[in-house]
Amino acid sequence: MDIAVYCSASEEIRSHFLEDAKSLGSALASHGHSLIYGGGNIGSMGRLGLAVHQGGGRVVSVIPRFFDDQGLTLAESDEVILTDAMQERRRIMWEKCAGAIVLPGGLGTLEEAVEFLVLNQLALINRPLIFADVNGYWGPFFELIDHMLKEKMLTEDHSRLFHQADSGVSALQKLESLSPSADHGGGES
């Protein structure tokens, strides 16, 4: 299965987030999945991509040219797709994946996750999204969703557009359980 993973490109984050990304990368490879991600060689992104590569898995890096020009692309990538804009990067990632996992990250990660949710909400795609709530990282986001539900900004159906797990590996297990076949790739569904 082609799985998109959204995560941090910061080297300043806590080590347990980096370790969780590395564990997810190893699990993706050992389960025979391909990684589609932002292509970075630093932070959670770097640990994730390198772990997939070291485990014998396929790494597809989708990265804007301005990051590649700075030397931020994972050298061990099996395929590098250079984009001219962040919007193009996001589009390619959700087009190519069968589902996505959201590891702890910053504004870029949040933007990617929310766009994925909106595309599902509008029925433009129908793909599972799992938040890996490592050490309760996404708790404030889930509280915001609850607040939006209480204020009738979202419906109960909207609250079912994503799932939660407590780690990257458990998010992968959840994603596998939601997918009819671990053998299919991306494309519109």
Looking only at the bridges linking them, the beta strands covering 99-102 and 79-83 are: unpaired
How far apart CA 131 and CA 139 sit, in angstroms, is 10
Q: Residue 93: what pLDDT? A: 97
Q: Residue 102: what pLDDT? A: 98
| Angle (deg, nearest 10), helices 168-178 and 15-30 | 40
% of the chain surpassing 70 pLDDT: 95
Q: Residue 149: what pLDDT? A: 94
Q: What's the CA dihedral at 10, 58, 67, 40 to 10 degrees? A: 10
Per-residue pLDDT at 189 exceeds 50: no
| Structural contact between residues 47 and 27, judged by C-beta atoms closer than 8 angstroms | no
| Angle (deg, nearest 10), helices 43-54 and 15-30 | 30
The residues facing 100 across adjacent strands are 4, 129
H or E element that contains 119: helix 107-121
Q: Residue 15: what pLDDT? A: 97
The gap from C-alpha 44 to its chain's centroid, in whole angstroms, comes to 11
Residue-by-residue DSSP string for 159-182:
HTS-EEESSHHHHHHHHHHHSS-T
Distances (CA, A) of 151 to 77, 123, 136, 137, 160: 44, 23, 24, 23, 17
Q: Residue 158: what pLDDT? A: 84
If pLDDT is split at 50, 70 and 90, which confidence band does 188 have? Answer: very low
Q: Which of 187, 189, 135, 179 is nearest to 31 (CA)?
A: 179
Per-residue pLDDT at 150 exceeds 80: yes
The gap from C-alpha 105 to its chain's centroid, in whole angstroms, comes to 10
If pLDDT is split at 50, 70 and 90, which confidence band does 180 have? Answer: low
